[in-house]
Structure formats: structure tokens, C-alpha cells
Structure 1
Amino acid sequence: MGVPPTHLPAETDVLSAIANGTPVADIARTYPASSLAWALLANEANDAGDVLPAYAYARVGYHRGLDALRRAGWKGQGPVPWSHEPNRGVLRSLYALRRAAEQIGETAEVERLTDFLHGADPDAISRIDKGE
């Protein structure tokens, strides 16, 4: 029997702020525990060509995500399915950190995060690559 999947709780306030067009920096400031907010902030920095801030924002999202996963019963391994929408913030933070690590030449970190993402959900990277 395998490790059961981890399902994070919904971040309804964060999603509402996003839907209302609140600037991402304000969302991260208001909801600092949200991996999704930090992942979006990392994406904005990356899109602006600011690799080091993107790395830093993604790193915060990664750590906030680990905290959330542990609170949800995750023991350091096992599925974190993309199909469960509240998990996507953590997966997006992992992806953003992987991307920024690649841009600064941190090969070992890229490999570790690739393994982490594949272990969490084998389809996560391709889903994010497709813009889902």
C-alpha cells in the first residue's frame, strides 16, 4: 500500500484577492503563508528578468508549502496531486524555484526539485509548462 495523497485546504481569500485583481505583492503581504502568492510573485519577477528576486520569492513559497504540507499530514514523501487545486500553489512554488535554480546554474537543486515534483505528481511539470 502506498502513501496516501496529501490534500491542502483551499485558500479562498487568496483566490478571491487574485480574482479581484489585487496586486500580487499585496496578496503575499496580506497572506504570507500562501505558497500560491509567493509562486505568483516569483513568476512576476521572472517575467521581468529579475532572477534573484524570483529565486527568493520561490524559496519562500517552497518553505511555506512544506509547512502547509506537514500541517496536512505529509511525512516528506507521497503524492501531492495537481488535480486537487489547493495543492497547486505548492507545486507552482516548487516549479518556480526549479526554474530560477536552473537560471543561476544550481544543477543539484534543479535535479532535487525535479525529483520532488515528479514524486508529488508526475504530471505537474507538464501541466505548469502548458500554462494550466
Structure 2
Amino acid sequence: MAELPMADRHETVLPPPPDAAREALAGALAADPDTRLLAVSAVVADHPTFLEGWAQLAALGREPIERYAYARVGYHRGLDALRAAGWGGRGFVRWSQPANRGFLACLVRLRAAAAEIGETAEVDRIAAFLHELDPDWDDQNLVA
């Protein structure tokens, strides 16, 4: 399949997450470090499609495989959300759109967790995918 010129590539913007989920996540992240993971888990249990919540779980996971699992769930939930928003497997999903950041954060955290468990091919695929989604991608967007 021929590569689409940049001007012909569709841009997808996810719908913003519910305010209640964002507020609950802010409260959970302010919890004591010993209970933060459980607090964020409760938010995600109440809002299972909340991508920022999955990204935070991936950041807070205690072991590499736990971080990988949280990030992978967030990534797949994000793909579902992108498809529901009209993304057909190609096109831009840019960091400059705040509603896209939860998905992209899951992707970055999946790449980091894949590196931790030695999934080198997956690390390379995710790095390429990030740049396909956002040609201006900069890892400084999210310090994983």
C-alpha cells in the first residue's frame, strides 16, 4: 500500500474524558504514596475507558510485568476509542490535542515497559508508531 501524503492523512481527536474521572484521578494521585496505586485502581475500576487512568497505573505499577499489563490494556482501550472516533488505522493522533494525551501516554509507557521486559522488537514498533501518529513526537512530551 502506498504511503499517503501528509496533507491527505486524517487527524483523529479523541473525545475528552469525563470531568468526574479527571477529578477522581487528581484526588487519587494526591493520595499517600503507599495507597496511591490502590486509589488510582479504584478510579480506573469506576471509569474503565479512562485512558489517563491506565497510563497512571502503568507509571505506578510495582513490577515491570505489572506496568506492561496496565499499559497494554490502556493501549488497547485507546485503539478502541480511536476507532470509535473515526480512526481507520492510519492518520494522525497528535499530542497537541489534550484529549489524545491519555492514549499517547499509554503508548509511551507500553514502550518503556516493553524495554524493561526485553521486548526489543515491540519497543521499535512503538517508537515508529508514535512518529506515525504524531510526526512532531518528542519524548519530552511525557517523561515516563
Q: What's the TM-score once normalised by structure 2's chain length?
A: 0.82
The equivalent residue for 2:69 is: 56
RMSD: 1.5
Deviation, 1:124, is 4.6
Instruction: Read off the aligned partner of 2:95 and give its amino acid letter.
Output: W
Q: Is the 8 A contact 1:91 1:124 kept in 2?
A: no
Q: Is the 8 A contact 1:82 1:124 kept in 2?
A: no
Match for 2:56 among 16, 27, 40? Answer: 40
Instruction: Read off the aligned partner of 1:36 and give its amino acid letter.
Output: E
Q: Is the 8 A contact 2:9 2:91 kept in 1?
A: yes
User: SS at the partner of 1:18?
Assistant: helix
The equivalent residue for 1:27 is: 43
Taking a change above 3 Å as real, the CA distance of residues 63 and 124 of structure 1, as seen in their structure-2 partners, is farther
The equivalent residue for 1:108 is: 121
Instruction: Read off the aligned partner of 1:34 and give its amino acid letter.
Output: F
Q: Is the 8 A contact 1:117 1:124 kept in 2?
A: no
Q: Is the 8 A contact 1:65 1:90 kept in 2?
A: yes
Structure 2, unmatched stretches of 5+, are 1-6, 30-38
C-alpha distance after superposition, 1:39-90 (max 9, x if no partner)? 1001001xx4x10100000000000000000000001111111111110010
Paired residues in the alignment total 127
Structure 1, unmatched stretches of 5+, are none
Instruction: Read off the aligned partner of 2:140 and give its amino acid letter.
Output: S
Q: Supply the distance in 1 between the matched residues of 2:119 and 2:130 (Cα, whole angstroms).
A: 17
Aligned residues with identical type, % of pairs: 44
Taking a change above 3 Å as real, the CA distance of residues 74 and 124 of structure 1, as seen in their structure-2 partners, is farther
Q: What's the TM-score once normalised by structure 1's chain length?
A: 0.89
The equivalent residue for 1:6 is: 12
- Structure with max Cα Rg: 2
